[in-house]
Structure 1
Amino acid sequence: MRKAIYKAVADRLKKSNVGVKFVSLWNRNTEQLSKQKAFRLPAVFVEFEPIEWSQLSRGGRSADIRVRLHVVTETLASPEEGGKYQDRALEHLDLIERIDAEVQGLSGEGFNCFMLVESVTDHDHERVQHDEECFVTRATDTSAVKPQAVAVGVTLVRG
């Protein structure tokens, strides 16, 4: 289920014209910028928050899955009022709105439309900004469903 959701989000962002240049799974990427392979900015990393499953019949399960998008951008501009580079400094907020518009309502096989439930704005950044957008989707996973046995050739006798 997570693979299908990740691929749907990544495909949507890659095929849209929102301005995202790199999409991957989250691995505390901003904390390890000097230790890992570089990635192009702006980037979006997909994180799955812990999932609490409800069991259904015959091995199915369902859950509200929270998917957190880590939006990583870069700027040296300052957003002070009347400043020469204010618009440039606030471009990441436009990017976030475009990402939200693309992902809002996304659905696929086994999961319903994405709904935005939380936004976290980075207010403690230097050159790299790390904002977060959290969506929730209702998912039903039937990968472990067992086929139901069907009785064949049974004769009922009433007596």
Structure 2
Amino acid sequence: MSDPNTPQTPTPPDAAPRRKTGPVVKLVLAVSLALNVLIMGLVAGAVTGRIGPSGPDELPALRALGLGPFAVALDRDGRAAVRDALGERRAALRAERRIIGDSLRAVQMALRADPFDRAGASAAMVRSRAAAEALQRHGQEALLDHLQSLPLERRIALADDLGRAMRRFDGRAPDRAPDR
């Protein structure tokens, strides 16, 4: 027993017994962490230029516009021509990139909501996908404009370079049309 004359000191709050975290909470936290890491990776890739532009007025990299093998196959002048054509669409590209950024922030808010705001995250992802598709359309239009301007000999050489670039991307090249 304790001595009634001894003053009692209160138990500090950090010494209170801890409750165990249930498996559902751990799963939700793991999924949340994975999504946060994915989003941060996308944002970091965009900031460093590996995915998209490196600054607010920078043009997106050709690969970020869905032109991956062409970014390798085109010669320096070809890439410059496509980039110049994209420069004429700078305002539209900036608006689409802004939508993607806003969508990522909306997903981030949905991740922090309790309970998880699935409808909000889904709507944000739909907006982001539409903006990404619009960016890809801009890139393809600029590329097609450039390809149309090339004489036949340069288009044939580019087709050969494209085959080599595709082998770099996925280990195969379309040497002939697929059998159907």
User: Structures share a fold, TM > 0.5?
Assistant: no
Q: Which has the larger radius of gyration?
A: 2
More strand by share: 1
